[in-house]
Amino acid sequence: MKIKFFAHLALKVGEESQINPVGCKVVGDLRDLISSEFPEIALDLPNCMLAVNMEFKQDEDHLPETIEEIAVIPPVSGG
């Protein structure tokens, strides 16, 4: 399935890729998988929000049966 990265994460690994979340039951499992598949952003992931099918999720949330898209969104800052 499609995984999208934003801001500085996209600069490190590209804006879009594919990932296969077989065996992932909760969002925390998915976060661990992303960390192992994209080690160059592993240190950034604890501070990022994950959105599954355009809905922000917490690590303890169960994943839906059908996942169309995952988004990894780093903290936002501005002035």
Position 79 scores a pLDDT of 62
CA dist 46 and 35 (Å) reads: 10
Position 39 scores a pLDDT of 98
Look up the CATH superfamily of 2-73.
Beta-grasp domain (3.10.20.30)
Q: Taking 70 as the threshold, does the pLDDT of residue 20 lie above it?
A: yes
23-61 residue pLDDT tens:
999 999 999 999 999 999 999 999 999 999 999 999 999
Position 76 scores a pLDDT of 85
| Residue 40 structure tokens | 């160059």
Beta strands 49-52 and 69-73 are antiparallel
Q: Taking 80 as the threshold, does the pLDDT of residue 77 lie above it?
A: no
